Chains A and B, each alone.
Chain A
Amino acid sequence: MEGEEREREMEIPEIDSRLAKMCIDTATHSSDAVEKWRMQRRSLQRLPSPLASALLHRLLRRRLLFPSLLEAFKYSVEEVDLSGENTVDAEWMAYLGAFSYLHSLNVAECYRINNPALWPLAGMTSLKQLDLSRCTKVTDAGIKHLLSISQLEKLHLSQTGVTADGIKLLPALRNLSTLDLGGLPVSDLALSSLQGLTNLEYLDVWGSKISDEGAAVLKNFLKLSFLNLSWTNVTKFPNLQSIKCLNMSECAIHSVLEDKSDRVTLKKLIIRGSSFLQAEIVFSTIEPSCLSFLNLSNTSLSYFGFLHRMHALEHLDLSSSAIQDDAVEAISCIGANLRHLNLNNTKVSNAGLETLAGHVPNLEVLSLSHTLIDDFAIAYISMMPSLKELDLSNKNIKGFIRQINNEVEVVSLTALQELKHLERLDLEKTRINDAVVHVLQGSEELSHLSLNSTLLTDKCLEYLSQVKKLVSLSIQGTLLTNAALELFNPSVTLELLDLRGCWLLTIDSLTSFCKKHPRVKVRHDHLFTTSVNHNSSTPNLALLQKGMKASKVKQRDRKSSVSPILFKKEVLDQRIKYGREELISLQHLSPPLVQPLDMDIAATKMN
């Protein structure tokens, strides 16, 4: 949960030059290729940092990186991200400690990292950022090794084994501006001992033992702009003018500021799942002209009158809150600047949407899944001219309206054609049919579409061929057949086709589609999934299908393809035997398709 707030600090640099990219591909093709260049010391020393970094991280993803190879990058690499790599241990750290220009090191979730493994980092003069999050074996003794990294500016220790005693040592790192102590037992006393860190701008102490008493010392951090106090016993908004972003989710917010005339000038406030004693008074202490981001999801608030004043709001999340149609009026009052609105899992119905229509000229993202709205709301939605993303996944949506007097059906989704900027549309869990999909052809900017109505058949793919800018298409769990896939002629822009759960498709048909459209990444239970390793860039299906040699992973995959073939025959049989309705009911009886693949993946990892 805390990760959502945290911006990614390390990003592997993108290389523009195509030839340089091709060189990286060649250099990381196999361990033989690596042997051909790893002894070129002079070249390695001269390698510009972004190239060296790209090369190192590609080797890592291709499982070609090992500790002694790290030495090749000793003089060139400035940023290393090894997060989540379970092979990383003290030996790796010994080499990394010798890197002359290492600026940023991320070993989050490397569970083999323990206290002795941190020893080589001691005294590093270049290191400014260190992420040890979720390295559970790191404890107070490990902190002692870090105290001599005098230039350290950003330190992440969330969910490690560090205790209040270890935290009390941290003021020795005088340059710290970011400190993440999430999930650690930070006591009031430990927090007060951090007061020497006057450069602190970002402090995360979620889930700690801090109380109101301890939080009072926060006013001494004059530069603090981000503060996460979620899951603590703090009940007051900290009285700190510098704070721009505050997270007090899952807190019981009771009292207000001591000085009633003061107001907190927050830009961003997240109070997901918190409870309030006097909501009206609590919100009156927030300066409304500053607040642009407010997350009130999962709260039991029934009073939303305070929204009236918050004219600067751009992002409002009310999902799973108690908001109902009558309170939507407050949102429409401040609609002028609103860009994001999330009403998922609320009791907002058509009447609420009617109130909103025409008052939100800049709304770009609207989420309405699991609300009470039905097809009649779509006409109101079409009056929100800036909409780019719309989530309508909702079982009440059929896509058409049956007129009461005559039997003519009007396709309600036709109204979406009014939305000239619509790029993403989520229609999962709806009950739309092929005829409804037909009208989506009129949405010219549509690039991401999700559908999984069981009423969809082969015809819908034919219609979807006409959506010209489609980049990602998800049609999960429908009864598409091989014939439809064969005829499907996707737009040139299509990159991802998600067909998981379309269990009538056979592996032959899927592979032949992949061959025909190598740039489209296809997801299906029969296919070697892209998620073997989510960090990996290699399992690009298109490349695999082209017959890219060398990758050992792929060879294993070939062997495993025995099981899907067995499946295919079984599936073919059933298609002849059963009708459509029967097939739907049978679907849940069939054994899970993914299992053999999962086992294979596990085996790959063990090797």
Chain B
Amino acid sequence: MEKEETVKLISSDGFEFIIDRKAAMVSQFLRNMLTSPGGFAETENGIVRFPEISTTILEKICQYFYWSRQYASGKETEFHIEPELTLELMMAANYLHT
């Protein structure tokens, strides 16, 4: 996969997630950041740091990006969320606007 096709998301504890750029676009926040015409260093490098989001939550978010794309293309599976994660995940989702 070419570099432009992916983006790197870094959690608060330094863990890196490399995902498809298209999947990241599920988040309105990332879409704006990655497609904005000028300025953001993130737009150039495709690296976004989330000092507020833990690895567990960021992993779940990435899973959601892929699930959401599948769901939109007609594969209607259920996205499982552990009740323990709901509060943190809710906040991250709200922040990422996804």
Contact = CB atoms under 8 A, between A and B. Distances in A.
A23 B98 contact: no
A27 B82 CA distance: 9
B83 A29 contact: yes
B91 A22 contact: no
Contacts of B49: none
B97 A23 contact: no
B84 interface: yes
A20 B94 contact: yes
Contact of B86 (A16, A17, A18, A37): A37
DSSP majority for the B interface?
helix
A19 B64 contact: yes
Contacts of A33: 83, 86
A82 interface: no
Contacts of A569: none
A47 B97 contact: no
A43 B91 contact: yes
Contact of B93 (A23, A43, A44, A47): A23
Interface residues of B, number: 20
Given A43-B91, A46-B91, A47-B87, A17 B79 contact: no
A15 interface: yes
B98 A19 contact: yes
Nearest to A54: B90
A47 B89 CA distance: 11
A26 B93 contact: no
A40 B94 CA distance: 18
A279 B82 CA distance: 68
Given A43-B91, A47-B91, A26 B81 contact: yes
Contact of A43 (B64, B81, B87, B94): B87
B88 interface: yes
Given A22-B81, A26-B81, A17 B87 contact: no
A117 to B, nearest CB: 30
DSSP majority for the A interface?
helix
A44 B88 CA distance: 9
A26 B86 contact: yes
Contact of B87 (A19, A32, A44): A44
B58 to A, nearest CB: 13
Interface in A26-40: 26-27, 29, 32-34, 36-37, 40
Interface in B43-98: 61, 64, 68, 79, 81-91, 93-94, 96-98
Given A27-B83, A36-B84, A37-B86, A19 B91 contact: no
A196 interface: no
Given A22-B79, A23-B93, A40 B98 contact: no
* Chain B CB within 10 A, most for which of A16, A18, A33, A40: A18
Given A19-B64, A26-B81, A40 B93 contact: no
Given A17-B94, A17-B97, A23 B86 contact: yes
Given A15-B94, A17-B98, A40 B83 contact: no
A24 interface: yes
Contacts of B88: 40, 43
Contacts of B68: 18
Nearest to A38: B87
A33 B91 CA distance: 17
Contacts of B81: 22-23, 26
Interface string B24-38: 000000000000000
A20 B85 CA distance: 11
Contact of B94 (A26, A29, A36, A51): A51
A596 interface: no
B86 A19 contact: no
A47 B90 CA distance: 9
B83 A48 contact: no
Interface in B4-19: none
Contacts of B85: 23
Nearest to A72: B87
21 contacts: A15-B94, A18-B68, A18-B98, A22-B79, A22-B81, A23-B81, A23-B85, A23-B86, A23-B89, A23-B90, A26-B86, A27-B90, A36-B82, A37-B86, A43-B88, A44-B87, A46-B91, A47-B90, A47-B91, A48-B91, A51-B91
Given A33-B83, A37-B86, 7 more contacts: A17-B98, A19-B98, A20-B90, A23-B85, A23-B87, A27-B90, A43-B91
* Complex A-B, nearest 4 residue pairs according to Cβ-Cβ distance, in ascending order: A19-B93, A36-B83, A27-B86, A23-B90
